[in-house]
Amino acid sequence: MTHVLTIRDLNVEFIDRGKVTNRPVRGIDLNVSAGEILGLVGETGCGKSLTGLAALGILPRGARRTGKVTMGGDPLQPSSEPDSPAAIVFQNPGTAFNPVFTLGRQLSDVLSRHRQISRSDSKSEVLRHLGLVGLPDPERVFLSYPHQLSGGMLQRAMIAMALLRQPRLLILDEPTTALDVTVARQILVLIDELRHEFGFGVLLISHNLGIIRDVCDRVAVLYAGRVIETGTVDAVMNNPRHPYTRGLLGALPAGRSHGERLSAIPGSVPGNLLSITGCAFMNRCPHAVIDCSFTDPFLTRNGSDQAVACIKEDEL
């Protein structure tokens, strides 16, 4: 399988007046293959959204990116470029569209920037894509303003907008967090169908382990700007090796009976990652030993479908 996205040693640093003040993404390696959904999971502040955006060259003010991001060997163009092979869908569909233009107008604009196309072809192409994402009445949606549609419909329209660019990579940043569970499920089903149909790779960023488990093929677990465990969803979810992954899964109330204590991870995510030497999870880890404070663990492959960044992995 070809990789549609390859990230090597991605770092994001915040710089204030010449000094590096924080490094929220610290050396991330990722691959996304064509037709595959890779889940990027982690808690608030672990750097998952920043990783997705930085991969596309979208950086907040004062941030700098180092590392290599390629698509099939070519350096990845920022998604703002018309011929970028990557598209992104954000969390809140209610604010992602301009409220004063119709959806048809906004989608047509994206299409005309992306392709040389006549006005009548443009409209039929937009309508076709609105149909593709399962919107029941494309003609009506075309003429609607954003406030006239529900959150679920808007998120479908967002996905249609992304598809218009014929992406080889789709980055979804918490695509269903703002939606109700039943609607969220429909959106996930849609994404699952579309990637089979069009063969694009998907980087799905989510804090929700359940969603990752439901739709992803592989998963990368982020902690403090690092991938600390990665592998197939089956392997990672059913046989987590890193203490943090175990902690996350143990913290879920699903399947726990009444009165049983959840295995909460003590403490909280470190705020500034500049001063970290050794393992960033050490302070919260039940298995930490002295060595953890010196040794910066790197991802080590265990078998073919799982890699873990923990020096005590063998003993756990």
Partner 1 sequence: MTNVLSLEKIVKTFPHHKRVFTAVDDVSLRIKEGTVYGLVGESGSGKSTLARCAMQLMRPTSGRTIFEGDDLGKLTPRALRNVRSRMGMVLQNPVASLNPRMTIGASVAEPLRAHTTLKGQALQSKIEDLLDEVGLGAGHAHRLPHQLSGGQCQRVGIARALATSPRLLILDEPTSALDVSVQAQILNLLQDLQQQKGLTYLLISHDLDVVRYLSDEVAVMKSGKIVESGAAERIFTDPQHDYTRTLLEAAPGHKASPAVGSHTLSAPNTQGSN
Residues that bind partner 1 (CB under 8 A): 37, 43-44, 150, 152-153, 180-186, 188-189, 192-193, 207-211, 213-217, 232-234, 247-248, 250-256, 258-259, 261-266, 268
Decide whether 42 or 122 has the Cβ nearer to partner 1.
Answer: 42
* Closer by beta carbon to partner 1, 20 or else 252: 252
**Both tokens assigned to 303:** 């078998």
Q: What would the DSSP string read from start to end of 270-292?
A: -S--TT--S-TTGGG-TT--GGG
Distance (Å, whole) CA 108 – CA 104: 6
DSSP 3-state of 2: coil
Shortest CB 260 distance to partner 1, Å: 8
Q: What's the maximum distance between 2 C-alpha atoms anywhere in the chain?
A: 68
The closest of 219, 222, 226, 207 to 25, measured between CA atoms, is 226
Q: How far is the CB of 68 from partner 1 (least distance, A)?
A: 28
DSSP states along 101-144: S-HHHHHHHHHHHHS---HHHHHHHHHHHHHHTT-S-HHHHHH-
Other residues' Cβ atoms within 10 Å of the Cβ of residue 204: 26
Residue 191: closest CA among 152, 158, 159, 143: 159
How far are the Cα atoms of 6, 169, 201 from residue 2, in angstroms, in the given order? 10, 12, 10
CB of 216 to partner 1, least distance (A): 5
**Residue number, 256 or 301, with CB nearest to partner 1:** 256
Q: Considering the complex, what minimum distance in angstroms separates the CB of residue 153 from partner 1?
A: 7
Closest to partner 1 by CB, 92 vs 263, is: 263
Shortest CB 264 distance to partner 1, Å: 4
Q: What type of residue sits at position 154?
A: L
Report DSSP state, residue 293.
G
Nearer to partner 1, 41 or 126 (CB): 41
* CB-based contact 204:166 (threshold 8 Å): no
Query: Quick one: 111 or 222, whose CB is closer to partner 1?
Result: 222
Strands of the sheet with 3-16, listed across from one edge: 19-33, 3-16, 63-71, 74-75
Backbone angles phi, psi at 46, to 5 degrees: -90, -10
CB nearer to partner 1: give 115 or 284. 284
CB nearer to partner 1: give 185 or 287: 185
Min separation Cβ 10 and partner 1, Å: 23
In angstroms, what is the minimal distance from the CB of 162 to partner 1? 18
CB of 36 to partner 1, least distance (A): 9
